[in-house]
Each structure stands twice: as C-alpha cells, then as structure tokens.
Structure 1
Amino acid sequence: MAWPPYSPDLNPLDYSIWGYIESIACAKPHESVKSLKKTIKKAWDEMVKRVVDSWPGRLQACVDAEGGYIE
C-alpha cells in the first residue's frame, strides 16, 4: 500500500486549524492589532493541543481505512 502523501485527513491545517482560527478571530471586533494577535495566539494554542491529542486516533483511522478518506 502506498502512503497517501497529500491526504487531507492527515493535514491538520486543512481539516481544522485555519477555519477555527478564523472563526475565533472574526467573532468580535478588536480594538487593536495587539488584541487580535492575543486572540489568535490563544485560539492557536488551544487548537494545536487538540489536534496533537487527536493525532493517534486520526492516524489509526487512516490505517484502518487502508489509506482511504476518513470522516
């Protein structure tokens, strides 16, 4: 079986992070760039932790699907 080199299921930037960061950053107006950066950093840190924690399960699901797409 060939490894799926560009599998979107194994690319957390595609399947979750960018959309989440955008939704948090745009949820309310910011008074300054500093406030926006703080919000983005907090959302990034939270999401990256979740993605890292979910990685073993996503990888196993991809193996179980024999490289096919997972939901």
Structure 2
Amino acid sequence: MFLPNYGSWLNWIEAEFAALRYFALNGTDHQSHGEQNAAIEGYIRWRNARAQPKTGFATDSPIRTWTHYPTKVA
C-alpha cells in the first residue's frame, strides 16, 4: 500500500487557508497592502467569532482505521 509523504488534505490548516483565500482574496484587486491586510483581518475576526472545535474531520478516511502500517521498503 502506498502512503504519501505529504498529505495536505490531512492538515487542518489547509482548510483554513482555503477558506481565507475564498472569502478574503479570490476575485479581489486590492489597491494596497493595507486594503489586503484589512480584508484578511476582517475574515479572521469573523471566523474567530464563530469558531467551533474541529470534530469529525475526515471521518471517511481509511487512515483513521488503519492498525497495521506497512514497513518502509525504499
């Protein structure tokens, strides 16, 4: 069985960065870094006010149920 060395889909922060890009950066043309920073800060304030603990992340992933990991051969 192949195990990837890098699995960004398992990293929770990747989901947060994707949301940040979608809600604060995609489709925008900020005239200055200050405008861009304000958009990012606004999203972070909004997100933090509504934050919930992460539960049930990747519940369908087979990695959550593995008990035997193959030995590295290479």
The normalised TM-score by structure 1 is 0.50
CA distance in 1, matches of 2:45, 2:32: 20
Identical pairs, percent:
11
The answer on 1:46 being equivalent to 2:30 is: no
The normalised TM-score by structure 2 is 0.49
Structure 1 unmatched ranges of 5 or more: 1-5
The structure richer in helix per residue is 1
User: In structure 2, what residue type is equivalent to 1:32?
Assistant: S
RMSD: 3.2
Size of the aligned set, in residue pairs, is: 55
Bigger Rg, which one: 2
Larger RCO (alpha carbons 8 Å, 6+ apart): 1
Deviation readout 1:42-68 (Å, 9 max, x if unpaired): 223333555x4041x326x75xx8824
